[in-house]
Structure 1
Amino acid sequence: MSNSNDISLTASELGNLWMTYQDKTMLMRMVEHFLEHVEEQEIQQLLTSCYDFSKQAVETITTIFEEEGAVIPLGFTENDVYKGKPKLFDHLYDLMFLQMIDKIGISLFALYSTMSFRKDIRNFFKQLTDNAQEELDKVTQILLEKGVLVRSPYVSMPKEVKFVQDNNYLSGYNFLNKTRALNTIEVSLIHHAIETNLVGLQLMIGFAQVAKDKEVKEYFVKGMKLSMKIETTLGEFLRQDFIEPPATPAGKATDSTVAPLSDKLMMYITNLLSTFGLGSNALGGAFCLRSDLPLTMARMALDIYNFAKNGGEIMIKNGWMEEPPQIEDRRKLTNS
């Protein structure tokens, strides 16, 4: 991708391209493991397409960095995936993982595009957004056809426009001083959070089984417990309204104890999902009008933050946290 205008990268463009390099090289390594064990041709084609596009994105970023005289990030290489190892997850987890990554990608790439100034960079992130959206559509359709993707509950269609009449609506109580029923926005946010945590739970189980480092293994066990806590806590809100929380019989961790991935890679994936979980909780808290929901999500956000912080400390301790490009430290000039 040429830079015909000869305009240098801004800090936001450099940082977002760097992050995308990390994420895409991570995804390539995960897909390499999935491709070793995929059985259905349709899924194999989808995974291969995902790999090829991720590789193309990495090559584009590499070209941009070379043109700018910037060092190429390390990211994740063939040293982070071990070929010929037993599969770590059962049938269809590959698509469930890909669906989760696409959801993250759509949000991030769209945001990155709005933070970019050079036309070629804007177009690059737009292409990544479009690709993730197209891929998500295909993955979702297959999971629905396989019967493993649980839809959120159906409801009666509204017949008239209504306005909130009482402040109790915000406090979460009705005129009988009982907890009011959830509205559809609140149900959608809770359903999405539980669905994501179920995929994350199986990820933590699999990672905990194969992690080589004792501290890393214990960290993934903490992740298992945190995912279960979030699912149980949010699921109770649905059960109070006689709504069954989402669950699926597919995509479980296998009983393998042989690592197909490096501890470094597994820690990065966990850190990425934890960071996105913080953002999802903030979004959920902002759009939930029942006061008990934002409070609950705020408490969960604190747990997720502490978990992510602990993960960062482990990564730094082991020399696994690649440092993002740094701006010039001009503060030292004031001390001279």
Structure 2
Amino acid sequence: MDFMDLFFISLGFAVLFYYGVKLLLFSRMLYPEVWFPTPNSFFRFMGEWAVVTAGSDGIGKAYAFELASQGINVVILSRTKDKLDRAAKEIGETTGQKVKVIVADFTEEKHFAEIENSLKDLNIGVLVNNVGMLPSSIPCKFLETQDLEETITKVINCNVKTMVKMCRIILPGMEKRRKGVIINVSSGVVCNPPPLYTLYTASKVFVERFSCGLQAEYKDKGVIIQAVTPFGVSTPMTGHMKTNMITLSPENFVKSSLQYIRAGDKTYGSICHMVLGWLLQAIPPQVLHTESMMTRLKCHVKKTTKQRT
């Protein structure tokens, strides 16, 4: 057997081994309750309270509801007091847990001292950084964004600064107690960021990278920090899209994503979103970045938005 024969045989075994490991890792995701089990008392063990930003509806409300149903008191934060009060009443009456509300517009920076003061005496075991916003309901090129200067400030404040500031407020207590969970909601678009959503996707890439780095820094302190990167979830931000095999309800997505809380520093949160992410990663960026693809994307979103209104 000459050198070239040996090389190609070795290469073949390496490829088989690589894809075998990938298949094994995928099979683990099919059975999270087997590979990543969490006891019923898992979140209660972390602390008495959970804090959820944008907790008055959508994914945030679903997280608040699910955590409360597992025996944790919750603090929900959002900018509209009426919606917060309605959500708090519904969660409290359904689960029997305490629910506190804090009114805060996260597109501004002035609320964090007040938030920190309101939370200082609470034993917080879970933080869900869920708040986020799109620069525009219809995708567009960066310079075509309406009120661009103001929008830049709002998106960075809401999608980036809020997550970092809330971690700065709550992480020290978790580090001191050597336990806690931080869930930072990013987006599936980070797997292959498309144009026309440039500001939004850049902010969500930051969420993902910050979360992974922070987990590396604090995993030996007993704190779980995870970026959750969903694709379609039917929420107010997505125009309450019709649910289907890919577009999940907030409740179903949250129940699924919490099963993967011990699966690593990043998760798509569901099998269907994981498969979609792998497929999108296989698309060369050059295809997504063509002018014709951008035009089709914009037309598609306009059409679906019009159908929902």
TM-score by length of 2: 0.29
Between 1 and 2, higher relative CO (CA 8 Å, sep ≥ 6) is seen in 1
More strand by share: 2
Which of these two proteins has the greater Rg computed from alpha carbons? 1
TM-score by length of 1: 0.27
